[in-house]
Amino acid sequence: MAEGRRRDEWGRTSSLMALIANTNRDPKKHRPFRAEDYGPFAHAAACPTVGVRVLKSVFLDRQEPRP
């Protein structure tokens, strides 16, 4: 229930941010902003997940991550 409330509040906040940004943008230089550009939950699926071994090798052993 708390997660739904947080998403709802961020939805309203990101809509207001997009509205303010669109009123101040130059239409010749930039596309219209959307609420998804400002919401933290819209980009949550884009974050990669890695195992603990990869994190250990990068942060503790100072090795470059392998693709």
12-47 per-position pLDDT tens digit: 999 999 999 999 999 899 899 999 888 887 765 566
The reported pLDDT for the residue numbered 22 is: 94
Mean local confidence (pLDDT), 43-53: 71
Distance CA 46, CA 55 (A): 18
Query: Cα–Cα distance between 42 and 44 in angstroms, integer?
Result: 6
Q: Is the pLDDT of residue 7 over 70?
A: yes
Two tokens, residue 46? 């884009």
pLDDT beyond 80 at 54 = yes
5-14, 21-30, 48-57: segment of lowest average pLDDT: 48-57
Query: For every residue of 10-53, which 3-state class applies, written as one string?
Result: HHHHHHHHHHHHHHCCCCCCCCCCCHHHCCCCCCHHHCCCCCHH
